[in-house]
Amino acid sequence: MKDIKHIIAIASGKGGVGKSTTAVNLALALQTLGAKVGLLDADIYGPSQRLMLGVAADLKPEQQDNQYLLPVEAYGLKTMSMAYLVDDNTPMIWRGPMAGGALAQMLEQTLWGELDYLIIDMPPGTGDIQLTLSQKAKVSGAVIVTTPQDIALVDARKGIEMFNQVDVPILGIVENMAQHICSQCGHVEHIFGEEGGRAMARDYDLPLLGSLPLALSIRQQTDAGKPTVIAEPDSPVTAIYLEVATALQSICAGHDGGGVKQFPNITFTND
CATH number of the domain that residue 34 is part of: 3.40.50.300
Q: Does the residue 257 lie in any domain?
A: no
Q: Does the residue 46 lie in any domain?
A: yes
Q: Does the residue 17 lie in any domain?
A: yes
Q: Does the residue 258 lie in any domain?
A: no
Q: Does the residue 268 lie in any domain?
A: no
**Alpha carbons 210 and 37: distance in angstroms, whole number:** 20
Sign for the CA dihedral angle at 210, 31, 13, 160 comes to: negative
Q: Does the residue 81 lie in any domain?
A: yes
- Cβ atoms of 43 and 146 within 8 Å: the answer is no
pLDDT higher than threshold 60 for residue 262: no
Task: Round the average pLDDT of the chain to a whole number and report it.
Answer: 86
Q: Average pLDDT of 261-265?
A: 41
Q: Does the residue 261 lie in any domain?
A: no
pLDDT of residue 181: 73
Q: Average pLDDT of 107-135?
A: 87
Q: Average pLDDT of 54-59?
A: 92
Tell me the per-residue pLDDT of 171-211, one tens digit each, with 9 for 90 and over.
999 999 887 777 677 667 776 767 778 889 889 999 999 99
The total domain count for the chain is: 1
Give residue 211's domain range: 4-252
